[in-house]
Each structure stands twice: as structure tokens, then as C-alpha cells.
Amino acid sequence: GVQTCALPMPSIGYGSDKRTRNIHPNGFKSVVISNVSELEMLMMHNRTYAATVAHNVSSKVRRSIVERAEQLAIRVTNANAKLRAEDDA
């Protein structure tokens, strides 16, 4: 059969501006981290970078990452993921 496909192909023209490439709507670049030491690398860059906790991080580690991020004033994009209703804030 004749295949007519009107979907736009991926092409280089769709790339976003170099300056804004990895920047999220909240104005930060996000960096995926899996542990507290990776979070501390972002300490120097907390103006430009926000941490995103990797999705395979356990909720125990996740809680300690989020707490440490608060001390370092680092923005965590998915801070309340996987917290469930645990009332020990």
C-alpha cells in the first residue's frame, strides 16, 4: 500500500536555543541525583541547578536527600514524590 505519513520528522531545526536548552519552566537546569554526595556537588550551583531525585531512589534515601537540600538551599523538583502520608515531618 501507499504510505502517506504526515507526521513531522525529528529534525535539527527543532533544537531549542543553546542558552535555554536544559532550562525548565521554573528557570533552573535540572540534574538527576541518586545520593546525598551528588546533591552536595550542586551546592556551588544552586542558582542555576535544581536537583531531581532519580526515580529508583528509595524513600528512606530520598527523605535524607530532601532534608539535606533544604539545609543547602537547593531546589528539589520532585521533593514530595514518594513521601506518602507519613506524619513525621
Looking at the chain, the whole-number percentage of residues with pLDDT higher than 70 is 88
pLDDT score for 84: 60
pLDDT score for 89: 42
pTM for this entry: 0.64
CA dist 34 and 37 (Å) reads 9
Long-range contacts (CB closer than 8 Å, 24 or more residues apart) made by 69-72: 69/39, 72/39, 72/40, 72/42, 72/43, 72/46
CA dist 78 and 63 (Å) reads 11
For 21-57, what is each residue's pLDDT tens digit?
778 878 888 889 999 999 998 888 888 899 999 988 9
List residues bridging with 51 in a β-sheet. Answer: 31, 76
